[in-house]
C-alpha cells in the first residue's frame, strides 16, 4: 500500500524523515534492534507484583555482542517489559546451548530438564565418565538411540492420526457442523425457556441457568395441602371478607402479626430429608 509524500518532503524514507535508525541496522555503538522472542517464561523482578512473561512473547530488543566463547560470539538482548517499563537482559550461553537471564528477571523453574528429541543433554560429569569408560559410552549411545527412536515413532503416530482424521475433509467438516447444530439447538431451547419464565412472572431481570445443587434442594422442599391447613394463624390476617379491595385500602401488619405469619409459613414448609420435620 503506497503512502502519500508531499512534494516538499526532503526524502521518502520514513526513517530518515523522522531521524531514527531502521530496525536491523547497526548503530555507532555496535547495537542492533531486532525482534526477540522469549525462549522460556521469565519472572519480572521490576513489577510490584510477581508477573510472569510467557514463553513466545515478542519484544523489540537491542542486540549487542558482549564476549566470545572460543570462536562463538556471546550476544546480549536488552528489552523493556511493556507492563512496568523494567529492562531485562538475556544472553546466549554457547557452553550449555541455552539462554541466561542476567538482569531484570528470573527464569521460571520447570523442574528437571526433559530429554529433547535429539537425545538428552549431558552434564560435564557424564561426559567425563563416557570418555573414561568405554562401556558407559556404549550404554549411553544405546539409550540415546532408544530415546530418538521413541520420539520418532511418536511423531509418526501424530502425523498418521492427523492424516487419518483429515483425509476426508467433507466428513470431518460434517462432524464438526453436526456438533455445532446440536449445541445451538440446546442453547436456543434454554433461551426460549428463560424468556417464557420472564414473561410468566413479569420480570425483567436476567434469568440464570439452572444449577444441579439448587434443583436437588428444591426437590427436598414439601408444602402442606390446602385441605390439611387449619383455619386461623396467618389465614386470619389474610382474610378480606367485609373489607374494601386491596387497591382501595392500605394494609398495615404489626410486628407481632408478621412474626405469626412467618412462623406459620415455616411450619407449613418442611424439608423432606428431615424425618422429624
30-39, 98-107, 221-230: which range is least confident on average? 221-230
Q: Is 252 left (phi over 0), alpha (psi -120 to 50) or beta?
A: beta
The set of cell numbers assigned to 105 is 528477571
The set of cell numbers assigned to 109 is 523453574
Share of the chain above pLDDT 90, in %: 17
Q: Which of 18-32, 108-122, 185-199 has the highest mean pLDDT?
A: 185-199
Neighbours of 161 (CB within 10 A): 10
- Model pLDDT for residues 227-271, shown as the tens digit of each residue: 554 444 444 444 444 455 554 444 444 456 667 767 776 666 655
Tell whether pTM > 0.85.
no
More confident residue, 185 or 205: 185
DSSP annotation string for 162-173: HHHHTSSHHHHH
Whether the predicted pLDDT of 138 surpasses 60: yes
List for the chain the helix, strand, coil content (%; round to 5). Answer: 40, 20, 40
Are 61 and 76 spatial neighbours (Cβ–Cβ below 8 Å)?
A: no
Report domain extents, the chain: 14-107, 112-167, 170-209, 212-238+253-277
Average pLDDT, the chain: 75
43-47, 171-175, 217-221, 273-277: which range is least confident on average? 273-277
Nearest-CA neighbor of 36 among 24, 27, 44, 46? Answer: 24
- Model pLDDT for residues 4-33, shown as the tens digit of each residue: 777 777 776 777 776 766 666 666 677 788
Separation in Å, CA 209 to CA 184, 187, 191, 200: 16, 11, 9, 17
Separation in Å, CA 7 to CA 4, 20, 57, 118: 9, 21, 40, 59
Amino acid at each position: 500500500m503506497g503512502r502519500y509524500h508531499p512534494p516538499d518532503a526532503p526524502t521518502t524514507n520514513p526513517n530518515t524523515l523522522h531521524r531514527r535508525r531502521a530496525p536491523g541496522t547497526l548503530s555507532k555503538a555496535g547495537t542492533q534492534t531486532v525482534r526477540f522472542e522469549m525462549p522460556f517464561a521469565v519472572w519480572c523482578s521490576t513489577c510490584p507484583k510477581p508477573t510472569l512473561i510467557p514463553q513466545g512473547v515478542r519484544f523489540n530488543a537491542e542486540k549487542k555482542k558482549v564476549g566470545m566463547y572460543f570462536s562463538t560470539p556471546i550476544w546480549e538482548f536488552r528489552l523493556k517489559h511493556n507492563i512496568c517499563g523494567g529492562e531485562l537482559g538475556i544472553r546466549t550461553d554457547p557452553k550449555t546451548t541455552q539462554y541466561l537471564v542476567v538482569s531484570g528477571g528470573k527464569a521460571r523453574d520447570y523442574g528437571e530438564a526433559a530429554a529433547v528429541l535429539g537425545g538428552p543433554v549431558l552434564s560435564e560429569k557424564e561426559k567425563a565418565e563416557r570418555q573414561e569408560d568405554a562401556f558407559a559410552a556404549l550404554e549411553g549411545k544405546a539409550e540415546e538411540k532408544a530415546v530418538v527412536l521413541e520420539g520418532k515413532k511418536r511423531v509418526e503416530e501424530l502425523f498418521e492420526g492427523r492424516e487419518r482424521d483429515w483425509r476426508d475433509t467433507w466428513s470431518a467438516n460434517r462432524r464438526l457442523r453436526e456438533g455445532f447444530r446440536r449445541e445451538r439447538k440446546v442453547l436456543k431451547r434454554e433461551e426460549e425457556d428463560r424468556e417464557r419464565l420472564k414473561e410468566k412472572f413479569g420480570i425483567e431481570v436476567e434469568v440464570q441457568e439452572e444449577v444441579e445443587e439448587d434443583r436437588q434442594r428444591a426437590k427436598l422442599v414439601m408444602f402442606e395441602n390446602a385441605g390439611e391447613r387449619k383455619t386461623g394463624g396467618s389465614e386470619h390476617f389474610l382474610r378480606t371478607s367485609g373489607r374494601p379491595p386491596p387497591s382501595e385500602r392500605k394494609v398495615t401488619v404489626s410486628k407481632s402479626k408478621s412474626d405469626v405469619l412467618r412462623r406459620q409459613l415455616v411450619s407449613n414448609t418442611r424439608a423432606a430429608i428431615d424425618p422429624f420435620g
